[in-house]
Amino acid sequence: MRVPTLTPEIPLSELRREVRYTLAVLRQRPWAGPQVPMFESLLKEVAAAQAALETLEDKAEDAGAGVDEADLHLDSFVQATATEARQALNKDTAAPLWQSLFGSLRPSELARPKLGSELAQVRRWPALLQAAPTAALRDRVAPCERLIKAADLALQAQETAHSAVQVFHAKTVVTLVAKLNAERSGLAGEADRQAFDGQIRTEAAAGIFRPATRRRTQRPATLEQVQDEVSAAEKDLAALRQQLTDLQAERLAATQAAEQRRADEQTLTALRATQAEGAKKIAEMEQRLRS
């Protein structure tokens, strides 16, 4: 008997249908009674996996919303800072401070990428704003630091959530599918054995797996229809390639920003250690001078 092979790429909802179908058939076949408990157990395992995956995907969606929210707040901060900077610099966008804040980009262009390169640029702002010529700009240091921290936390939460989904697929789903295939193969072998031994009729061993349904797509019938379909497919492909380029750029910027942050933290730790050592030596020297 041919046993359709299940793969981890099949949605859990479809895997559940596969198990339910076989279980429904087995309950109507007297010879398959001993197999029913196993497939009832498999059905519960698939349902548990569905619930667990749904929870993980909900967390990933929540994390994505958190990134969008952090990006929205950062965009608003960038635009408001641009307004303050224009006033402080008398609209001189060639001034060193403006160039340090925005470079060759307009504020709207800087705010366009989702965190990515925008966050990497804004990460430099606290030091720049602290030395700004107006109190209004200097007062933006603390809010800027809070937004950077919130963005970092949002990105970290998103990465953690997405990793959890990937790990679940790579481990739990793959293991579950392997178990389903093994039990289905064992069931088919038992059915073939009983049919071969004459314990059941051949038709009693057939149809225990859900029939595969083939979708027949009606193809275009005229040259014009084919041309239209090709044109639409090319547009979709171009859009996907642009999306891929944008996502790769965002990922690269986020990685660079994380590396820069780690480097800054290491430098800060070293500076604090040096500062503490210097303070200790000063205290020792002052003690010697007083004695």
Query: Which residues are CB-contacts of 277 (< 8 A; sequence separation ≥ 6)?
Result: none
In whole angstroms, give the CA distance from residue 82 to residue 80: 5
Q: What is the mean pLDDT of residues 253-275?
A: 80
Of 160, 192, 211, the last residue of a domain is: 211
From 161, 194, 211, the end of a domain falls on 211
195 & 102 share domain? yes
Average pLDDT over residues 140-162: 95
- Considering the domain architecture, whether residues 207 and 254 belong to the same structural domain is answered as no
Same domain, 203 and 246: no
pLDDT at res. 279: 84
> Which pLDDT value is given to residue 205?
84
Q: Which has more pLDDT, 85 or 286?
A: 85
140 domain-assigned? yes
| Same domain for 76 and 200 | yes
pTM greater than 0.75: no
Residue 235 is assigned to a structural domain of this protein? no
Structural domain includes residue 221: no
Nearest-angstrom CA–CA distance, 204 and 62? 49
Q: Is 223 among the domain residues? A: no
Q: What gap in Å lies between CA 249 and CA 133, rounded to an integer?
A: 34
Q: Which two tokens stand for residue 70?
A: 């952090």
- By C-alpha distance, which of 188, 162, 164, 172 is closest to 15? 172
Residues 166, 287, single domain; the answer is: no
Mean pLDDT of the chain, nearest integer? 88
> What's the confidence (pLDDT) of residue 216?
46
Share of residues in the chain with pLDDT > 90 (%) = 57
Would residue 227 count as lying in a domain? no
189-209 residue pLDDT tens: 999 998 888 898 888 888 899
Mean per-residue pLDDT, 115-141: 92
Q: Which of 254, 229, 181 is nearest to 18 (CA)?
A: 181
215 — pLDDT class (breaks 50, 70, 90): very low
State whether 278 and 141 are in the same domain.
no
249 in the same domain as 206: no
Quick check: 156 and 145 in contact, CB under 8 A? no
Establish if 234 belongs to a structural domain: no
* CB of 74 closer than 8 Å to CB of 151: yes
Does 213 score more than 60 pLDDT?
Answer: no
Residue 186 shares a structural domain with residue 98: yes
How many separate domains does the chain show? 2
pLDDT for 253 beyond 90: no
Residues 203 and 249 in one domain: no
Per residue in 50-89, pLDDT tens?
999 999 999 999 999 999 999 999 999 999 999 999 999 9
In a domain, 206, yes or no: yes
DSSP state of 170: I
d(CA 44, CA 255) in angstroms, rounded, equals 41
Residue 269 and residue 163 share a domain: no
Length of the chain in terms of residues written: 291
18 closest CA partner among 241, 170, 227, 179: 179
Residues 186, 148 share a domain: yes
Q: For 43, phi and psi rounded to 5 degrees?
A: -60, -40
Expressed as residue numbers, the domain containing 287 is: 240-291
CA–CA separation, 72 and 31 (whole Å): 63
- Same-domain check for residues 9 and 121: yes
From 194, 211, 228, the end of a domain falls on: 211
Asked whether residue 232 is assigned to any structural domain, the reply reads no
Q: Which two tokens stand for residue 284?
A: 């020792």
